[in-house]
Amino acid sequence: MQTLSNPDNVVLAGQVLDWAGVKTGQIRGLVFSVASLMAVIAVITAWWKTRSFVGTLVAFVLACLVLWGIGSLDTFKDKVGTEINGASFSEVHVAGDAPLTTGEGRRLV
C-alpha cells in the first residue's frame, strides 16, 4: 500500500477508486459471512427451543430469504432506480388567493 506522507509519491484518483472498490467488496463479503453465521445460529436456536421440524423449517426458509435479499441488493437497487426514474409526476397548482386553513377550518395568520 502506498503512503500519502511521501511528497514524491502521487496517488491518482483511479488508484483511490480501485482501493475503495476492493474495500467495498471486502465489506460486502464480511457482511454476508456474518449474516450467514447469524442465519445458522437462528436455525439451530429454533431447533433447540422448539424441537419441531416445522418451526426449524420456517426458520431455515426465513434465513434463506434474508441471505437472498442481502445477496440481491444490487438487483433491488437497479430495479428501484429504474422505477423511480421512469415515474411521471403531475404538477400541483395552488391558487394564490385561497386562504390557508387548518384542519378545523380556522384561518392561518
Residue 2, SS3? coil
Please say whether the beta carbons of 39 and 71 come within 8 A: no
Q: For 26-84, what is each residue's pLDDT tens digit? A: 999 999 999 999 999 999 999 999 999 999 999 999 999 999 999 998 887 777 777 77
Terminal-residue alpha carbon distance, the chain: 63
Q: How many CA atoms lie within 13 A of 79 on its CB side?
A: 5
pTM of the full predicted structure? 0.60
Q: Can you give the residue ranges of every domain in the chain?
A: 32-77
